[in-house]
Amino acid sequence: QVQLVESGGGLVQAGGSLRLSCAASGRTFSSYAMGWFRQAPGKEREFVVAVSGSGTVIVYTDSVKGRFTISRDNAKNTVYLQMNSLKPEDTAVYYCNAGRRFGREPGDYWGQGTQVTVSS
């Protein structure tokens, strides 16, 4: 069982930056691939980025490439999402996700979500 707690969301103007954090419980954090998904109002939840357990393999959705950066600190059981050059279309609830398989499909564990609002 893995419990995930996100933090760092908020309101920012277009062009600004935010850093999301996701703290995980458990002693096997490095064995889990981690990812971020987001859900905008009236839309389905969508994949944003994933990182392998070792942190060496990363995949981004095209719309955030060059603007968002995922990283993980396995010693702290934490994954981060640095979001730069934010756009109004990035507005969504962002969810941290953990699973045994790396890729664009979500794993079994979700955080509660954190709201990111980008004003124009």
Residue with tokens 């062009």: 15
26 or 119, greater pLDDT: 119
Name the helix (H) or strand (E) containing 46.
strand 46-51
pLDDT of residue 96: 98
Model confidence at 95, pLDDT cuts 50, 70, 90, reads very high
Euclidean distance between the first and the last CA atom of the chain, given in angstroms as a whole number:
40
The tokens for 55 are: 């942190």
Evaluate if residue 27 carries a pLDDT over 90. Answer: no
What residue type is assigned to position 89 of the chain? E
Residues in the chain: 120
Distance (Å, whole) CA 120 – CA 104: 29
Evaluate if residue 26 carries a pLDDT over 90. Answer: no
pLDDT of residue 60: 98
Burial of 89 (0-12, 13-18, 19+ CB in 10 A): exposed
Chain-wide mean pLDDT for the chain? 97
In 3D space, the residue among 66, 70, 24, 69 whose CA is nearest the CA of residue 51 turns out to be: 70
Q: What is the pLDDT of residues 28-66, one digit of tens each?
A: 999 999 999 999 999 999 999 999 999 999 999 999 999
Evaluate if residue 1 carries a pLDDT over 90. Answer: no
Burial of 120 (0-12, 13-18, 19+ CB in 10 A): exposed
> For 76-88, what is the mean pLDDT?
98
